[in-house]
Structure 1
Amino acid sequence: MTESQFGATVPDDGFQVAADLLPDGLVVADARGRVTVFNTAAAALTGVDRSAALGKQYDGLLPLRDDDGHDWWKCTDPYGGLPSRTRQPARLLRLGLDGPQLDVSARYVRSRRAGPLQQLVITLRDGASRARWERSRADLVSTVAHELRSPLTSVKGFTATLLTKWDKFTDEQRQAILRTVEYDADVLTRLIGDLLDVSRIESGRLELRRSVVDVGRLAHRLVAGRVAAGDDADRFEIAVHGELPDLWLDSDKVEQILANLVDNAVRHGDGKISIVVEPSAEVGDTGEAGVSVSVSDAGEGIPAELAPSVFTRFWRGNHRRGNTGLGLYIVKGLVEAHRGTIALGRSAAGGAMFRFSLPAGSPPYL
Structure 2
Amino acid sequence: MTGRHELKPAGLPTSRLAIALAASLVLAIIVGAATAIWMLRIQEIGKWEKQTETFSVVLAETVSQQMDFAYTALDSIAERIQDRWSVSAEYLSGKLSTHDFHQFLREKAALSPAVEVISVLDVDGNVINTSRNFPAPTYSLADRDYFIAQRDNPVQGTFLSSSVRSKTTGKWMFFLSHRLTGSDGEFIGVVILGMSPSFYSQFYEKLSGDGHATIGLLRNDFTYLARWPERGEVMGMRNLTGSTYELVHEKNKKSGVLITNNPRMSEGGKAVTRMAAIQSLEKYPLIINFSVDEDLYLADWRKISTGIVIVAMSGILAIVAAFSVLVNLLERREQDLVVTTELKQQAEVINRNQAHLLKNLTEQQIALKDSSDRLQAIFQNAADGIIMIDDTGKIEALNPAAVAIYGHPASEVVGKNGKFFSPPGQPDLLGLAMSRREFLETGCLRTEAERMRKDGSLFPAELAITEYYHAGRRKLIVIVRDISERRKMERMKSEFISTVSHELRTPLTAIRGSLGLIMGGAMGAVPDKISALMGMAHKNSESLTRLINDLLDIQKIEAGKMDFVFECLPLQNLLQTAISNNQAFAHSMNTEIILGSQLEQAMVMVDTGRFQQVMANLLSNACKYSPEGAVVQVLSMPRDGNLIRIEVIDQGSGIPENFRDRLFQKFSQADSSDTRAKGGTGLGLAISQAIMRQMHGDIGYYMAQDAAHDTVQPGGEGQDVLHTGTHFYIDLPLHTEGNGGLELPTPNPDPLP
What range describes the TM-score normalised by the shorter chain of this pair? 0.5 to 0.7
* Paired residues of 1:87 and 1:106 also in contact (CA < 8 A): no
Displacement of 1:191: 0.8
TM-score of the superposed pair, with normalisation by structure 2: 0.30
Relative to total residues, which structure has the larger helix share, 1 or 2?
2
Match of 1:305 in 2: 658
Using a 3 Å threshold, how does the CA distance of structure 1 residues 231 and 19 change in structure 2: closer, same or farther? closer
* Correspondent of 1:79 among 388, 395, 420: 420
Between the two proteins, the alignment pairs up a number of residues equal to 268
The one-letter code of the counterpart of 1:106 is A
Q: Structure 1 CA distance, aligned partners of 2:679 and 2:623?
A: 13
| The structure with more radius of gyration | 2
Letter in 2 for 1:201: I
- Which segment is superposed worse, 262-271 or 56-65? 56-65
Q: Distance in 1 between matches of 2:698 and 2:683?
A: 18
Structure 1 residue 244 displacement after superposition: 4.8
Cα deviation, residue 204, structure 1: 2.2
- How far off its partner does 1:62 sit? 5.1
SS of equivalent residue, structure 2 residue 555? helix
Q: Structure 1's 19 and 350: CA in aligned 2 closer, same or farther, altered over 3 A?
A: closer
User: What's the C-alpha RMSD, in Å, of the aligned pairs?
Assistant: 5.0
Q: How does 1:200-279 map to 2 (within 5 A)?
A: 200-228=556-584, 231=587, 235-242=592-599, 244-270=601-627, 271-279=630-638
Specify every segment of 5 or more residues in structure 2 that has no aligned partner in the other structure, as ranges: 1-70, 78-107, 112-374, 380-387, 410-417, 430-445, 452-460, 467-478, 516-525, 705-709, 711-722, 738-753
1:19/1:72 CA distance change after superposition, 3 Å: farther
1:106 is aligned, of 422, 444, 449, to 449
- Structure 2 matches for 1:119-198, cutoff 5 A? 122-123=463-464, 171-198=527-554
| Cα deviations by residue, 1:289-324 (Å, 9 ceiling, x for unpaired) | 232111111111113332221100011212465311
Query: Counterparts of 1:203 and 1:124 in 2: how far apart (Å)?
Result: 28
Structure 1 residue matching 2:633: 3-state secondary structure = strand
Separation in 2 of the partners of 1:74 and 1:320?
59
User: Which has the higher mean CA deviation after the structures are superposed, 333-342 or 209-218?
Assistant: 209-218
Q: Counterpart of 1:221 in 2: which secondary structure?
A: helix
The answer (yes or no) to whether the contact 1:311–1:328 under 8 Å persists in 2 is yes
- Which of 316, 319, 332 is the equivalent residue of 2:669? 316
Distance in 1 between the 2:619 and 2:645 partners? 15
Q: Determine which of 620, 636, 646 is the counterpart of 1:293.
A: 646
Query: Counterpart of 1:360?
Result: 734
Residues 207 and 121 of structure 1: CA distance in aligned 2, closer, same or farther (over 3 Å) = closer
Residue 70 of structure 1: which of 404, 408, 421 is its match?
404
Correspondence for 1:95: none
- Structure 2 Cα separation of the partners of residues 182 and 211 of structure 1: 35
* SS state at 2:577 partner: helix
Displacement of 1:237 in angstroms is: 2.0
SS at match of 2:587: coil
Deviations 1:189-225 (A, max 9, x none): 1011111211222222222211122232222222223
Q: CA deviation at 1:174?
A: 2.6
Q: One-letter code of the match for 2:391? A: G
Contact 2:583 2:593 in 1 (8 A): no
2:578–2:616: 8 Å Cα contact kept in structure 1?
A: yes
How far apart, in 1, do the equivalents of 2:680 and 2:555 lie? 18
Q: Secondary structure at the match of 1:231?
A: helix
Cα distance in 2 between the residues matched to 1:127 and 1:302: 46
- The 8 Å contact of residues 253 and 334 in structure 1, kept in 2 or not, is answered as yes
Alpha-carbon separation, structure 1, partners of 2:694 and 2:392:
48
Partner Cα separation in structure 2 for residue 358 and residue 20 of structure 1: 32
**Could you list the runs of 5+ residues in structure 1 that have no partner in the other structure?**
1-16, 24-40, 89-102, 109-119, 160-169, 283-288
> Is the contact made by 1:292 and 1:356 (CA closer than 8 Å) also made in structure 2?
yes
Q: How much has 1:177 moved relative to structure 2? A: 2.4
Question: For 2:637, what is the secondary structure of its paired residue?
Answer: strand
Question: Which amino acid in structure 2 is aligned with residue 205 of structure 1?
Answer: K
Query: Aligned AA for 1:291?
Result: I
Query: CA distance change for structure 1 residues 310 and 124 in 2, over 3 Å: closer, same or farther?
Result: farther
Please name the residue that 2:750 is paired with: none
TM-score normalised according to structure 1 size = 0.57
